[in-house]
Amino acid sequence: MLNGKSILITGGTGSFGKKCTEIILQNYKPEKLIIFSRDELKQFEMSQVFSEKDYPCLRYFIGDVRDKDRLYRAFYGVDYVIHAAALKQVPAAERNPFEVIKTNIIGAENIVNAAIDCNVKKIIALSTDKAANPVNLYGATKLCSDKLFIAGNSYSGYHRTRFSVVRYGNVVGSRGSVMPFFKKMRETGTLPITDARMTRFWITIEHGVKFVLRCLELMHCGELFVPKIPSMNIIDMARAIAPECKHNIIGIRPGEKLHEVMITDDDARHTLEFGDYYVVEPEFDWWSNEKHIANGAKQVPEGFRYASNTNNRWLTAEELKELIKDS
């Protein structure tokens, strides 16, 4: 699907963007792969690994999703956009709400408008489990962003630009993951634990990238894709990473949930289940699920809720160690 196509990744120098670049270059032959980000140092560092000399299809493009004009320049001639750029640190978002709104919401609006006007064929945007019933500003901005991309299908009209969203949980080993922090704190002999009951969804960066690329191919328009991924209790995780350490319960931080949810009870009323993922359907008159039903989808049962504490898949300590090793 990506062979001979022009692809742009916003936030292309982040952990997702770098792994996505690696997987695309390993498995496809795109005409052009544009790394769009605002950090020239990260672009320079990434170019030492993926150089334009070794990969002639690569383009490093400095820009910010807040800058609509720059997006128009970047999107010219692009077939597919993978939107991974975001401000995502929960504590920082609580202290700097306007900056997060500018990137996560206004930036999403800019992408929708630029993609339609530049006749981009498909846009798939990354979301987060924190966007379902959000209790922090980051989650609230990503929920709004999700709604903007899904509604973008109503705006595209004859342009036929299509938008969909992928939502998944915590990424093993990413900057926002607690795992690097636990590894660092292991030297002190004590790990700070917010709440012993806390659970989280977990996915590897490679699994996340491959799922996004798969959804880019599967999407029709307006779907919110959710992979079936395992959960783990925070205490079990701490024991797996640092079995010798003591635990210091410090309490839940501002904007933090005890358990994460990826599909709420209300979303379940219009959610389809496939073998290894779910699709939350858009609630618009133009939407039809006939193609998904024909591909084996079934409606989730009444009262369904996809939450990290009621998940039917759980990571063991040994499985987590394997994930950490591979991440």
Number of domains in the chain: 1
DSSP string, 17-37: HHHHHHHHHHH---SEEEEEE
The pTM for the full model equals 0.94
327 residues of the chain, pLDDT tens digit each: 899 999 999 999 999 999 999 999 999 999 999 999 999 999 999 999 999 999 999 999 999 999 999 999 999 999 999 999 999 988 899 999 999 999 999 999 999 999 999 999 999 999 999 999 999 999 999 999 999 999 999 998 878 899 999 999 888 867 667 777 888 888 888 999 989 999 999 999 999 999 999 999 999 999 999 999 999 999 988 888 888 999 999 998 888 899 999 999 999 999 999 999 999 999 888 888 888 888 888 999 989 999 999 999 998 888 887 777 655
Question: Is residue 217 in a domain?
Answer: yes
Contacts of 167 (CB under 8 A, 6+ apart): 127, 128, 129, 131, 132, 146, 224, 225, 226, 262
C-alpha–C-alpha distance, residues 177 and 172, integer Å: 6
Measured CA distances, 54 to 25, 225, 261 (Å): 11, 34, 42
Question: Is residue 1 in a domain?
Answer: no
Q: Which domain holds residue 64?
A: 6-326
C-alpha–C-alpha distance, residues 166 and 216, integer Å: 9
Chain-centroid distance of CA 315 in Å reads 20
Question: Is residue 115 in a domain?
Answer: yes
Question: Is residue 215 in a domain?
Answer: yes
* Amino acid in the structure at residue 262: M
pLDDT tens track for 112-158: 999 999 999 999 999 999 999 999 999 999 999 999 999 999 998 87
Strands 32-37 and 58-62, by their bridges, are parallel
Q: What CATH number should be reported for the domain holding residue 104?
A: 3.40.50.720
Annotated active-site positions, please?
A: 130
